[in-house]
Amino acid sequence: MLAAKIIPRPSITQTLAFPNPSIKTLQKPSILSTPCLKSSSQSVLTESLSTTPANARVKILSEALPFIQKFRGKTVVVKYGGAAMKSEALQRSVITDLVLLSCIGLRIVFVHGGGPEINQWLNRLGIKPNFLNGLRVTDESTMEIVSMVLVGKVNKNLVALINKAGATAVGLCGTDGRIFTASPSPNAAQLDGTGQSYNINADTAAGELAAALGAEKLLLLTDVAGILENKDDPESLVKEIDVRGVKKMMDDGKIAGGMIPKVNCCIKSLAQGVKTASIIDGRLEHSLLLEVLTDEGAGTMITG
């Protein structure tokens, strides 16, 4: 697990514009100079303007205004992984969304995994990946590869992409400044205080980070539409559910496998003060904007 904090450049924090030189000047049609046709021509012009790209952009921005006002200045923790990491097009979409959200005043903390890339390097070195209940089991030899891939490759690449897109990102890992440390537990005698690194599931880390930062939202990008009432029916998406409801779904076996740690981290973060936690479809382009700036969303939102 690694994280990147996105710091908007001062020059782009005050305004968000969509310049389009081709539509700067709109010439009045000559038909408007004929008094008897004024009424009909105005209706035609109004109808034409309503379908122009500029008007569509203005409409979208105006509809997003209440969400921008609500979340401006608030911390949003985004966990990035899965299909959105494998596809270059989806990766560009995520980076664009992050920069735009930062520009309109959201405080973005970007936590990423790197499962596919880790597995690729493990396979190259003849090490078999091992998972238990949807979580990676990381022994000492695997940890060395995990650290190399996440810190030295994936994180640096994402930071470079964000900076190239116009924001300023600072890449950090859990050991930097002891960002993530063990806390007292019933098994305190087993905790290692010697500085040994461990691999933490990125969903779990994102949830704990969101709670520690008092985040408004926790967003987990996944390879599915969200939480499904029926796992065999993609149309059975649960758009919104509370903690009690999602716990019942787990008890009933409707939530299983890799979805369990995601749901558990959402539940835990909500219990620690995060306002909402969403499991969203990372396969959709601009899913982050859909989730933050629209009523429809892009997955399942869990509330306390």
Domain boundaries, the chain: 2-10+51-303
Spacing of C-alpha 140 from chain mean position: 30
Tokens 């499962």, located at residue: 115
- Given pLDDT bands bounded at 50, 70 and 90, which one contains residue 182? low
At 5 the pLDDT is 54
3-class SS of residue 80: strand
In whole angstroms, give the CA distance from residue 102 to residue 123: 37
- Given pLDDT bands bounded at 50, 70 and 90, which one contains residue 34? very low
Spacing of C-alpha 289 from chain mean position: 9
In whole angstroms, give the CA distance from residue 80 to residue 150: 13
In whole angstroms, give the CA distance from residue 53 to residue 72: 26
In whole angstroms, give the CA distance from residue 277 to residue 94: 18
At 186 the pLDDT is 61
Q: For 224-237, how does the pLDDT look when each residue is reduced to its tens digit (9 = 90+)?
A: 899 999 888 888 99
Across the range 174-182, mean pLDDT stands at 67
Does position 3 have pLDDT exceeding 90, yes or no?
A: no
Residue 138: beta bridge partners? none
At 38 the pLDDT is 35
In whole angstroms, give the CA distance from residue 257 to residue 274: 24
In whole angstroms, give the CA distance from residue 138 to residue 302: 30
Look up the CATH architecture of domain 2-10+51-303: 3-Layer(aba) Sandwich (3.40)
Q: What is the H or E stretch that residue 88 is in?
A: helix 88-103
Higher pLDDT, 129 or 89: 89
Q: What is the H or E stretch that residue 71 is in?
A: helix 53-71
- Describe the crossing of helices 259-271 and 243-251 by its angle, rounded to 10 degrees: 150
Assign 3-state DSSP to the chain and report helix, strand, coil percentages, each to 5: 50, 15, 35
Q: Say if CB 285 and CB 278 are below 8 A apart.
A: no
Alpha carbon separation from 304 to 144, 246, 270, 294 (Å, rounded)? 38, 10, 6, 20
Q: For 88-126, how does the pLDDT look when each residue is reduced to its tens digit (9 = 90+)?
A: 888 889 999 999 999 999 999 999 887 778 888 888 888
For the four alpha carbons of 246, 250, 255 and 259, in that order, the dihedral sign comes to positive
